[in-house]
Amino acid sequence: MHKAGTSNGKADALSCRSDHQVGDEDDNTDQVVLKQERFCIAATQRGHASVTADQSLLKCIRECSDKDRAVAEALEKVQNLGPPRLQKGFEEWNAEQGLLLFRGMVYIPKNAELRRYIVKIHHDSPIADHGSRAKTLELVSRNYWWPGMSKFVNEYVSTCDVCNRTKCRDLRSSDWGKPKKLGASD
């Protein structure tokens, strides 16, 4: 049988602790649990700035960019020496900290191993948990860019062994489970 809380004095008395009296609202105002210096606000940083924590990856990108230095040198010459009509279309390119950027994203040089590693850390990691093609592309494109990136990500995800072994197949569109007609020859 239900008893209203206001009429149940014993339960109310047991749930009211003496150390939780009214008037103690300001007891934690001067306590700082974590210092402000311990926080890094990555959401306010644009593009590649959130990637700078992985120094080994940045070092690898810079080393591969040295081999693809022709792109960076041509870009620099066009931006600095070329007439304004030739500079059109290159406004979205710039260089920071030894990295070539396109629309604020780190340009990844033409190196299949490096590109595969970047997709791998955004697809195979426990945090990414073998996401879909769209999710993996979204994660990669937050910080990186290269020509044909969506095709590269789609191929990587479609050939992922773990994804292929655990993927649910759409059985509605196939003939699985339907009775087979035994053909009678006429």
Encode pLDDT of 72-116 as tens digits. 676 676 567 566 665 666 777 777 777 888 888 888 988 999 999
Encode pLDDT of 39-70 as tens digits. 655 544 445 445 555 788 888 888 887 777 77
pLDDT of amino acid 79: 60
pLDDT of amino acid 44: 42
Could you give the percent of the chain with pLDDT greater than 90?
22
Is 143:51 a contact under the CB 8 Å cutoff?
A: yes
Residue 19 forms part of a structural domain:
no
Residue 73 forms part of a structural domain:
yes
Residue 38 forms part of a structural domain:
no
Is 118:140 a contact under the CB 8 Å cutoff?
A: yes
Residue 162 forms part of a structural domain:
yes
Residues comprising the chain, all counted: 186
pLDDT of amino acid 74: 60
Q: Please compute the mean of the pLDDT values over residues 166-182 and round it to a whole number.
A: 66
Q: What is the dihedral of CA 123, 128, 129, 134, to 10 degrees?
A: -60
Residue 177 forms part of a structural domain:
no
Residue 130 forms part of a structural domain:
yes
144 or 175, which is more confident = 144
Handedness of CA 106, 112, 117, 122 (dihedral sign): positive
Buried b (16+ CB within 10 A) or exposed e, 82-95: eeeeeeeeeeebee
- Note down the domain range covering 81: 47-166
Residue 185 forms part of a structural domain:
no
- The structure's pTM equals 0.60
User: Which CATH number fits the domain that encloses residue 64?
Assistant: 1.10.340.70
Structural domains in the chain (count)? 1
Residue 2 forms part of a structural domain:
no
For residue 129, give both structure tokens.
């948990």
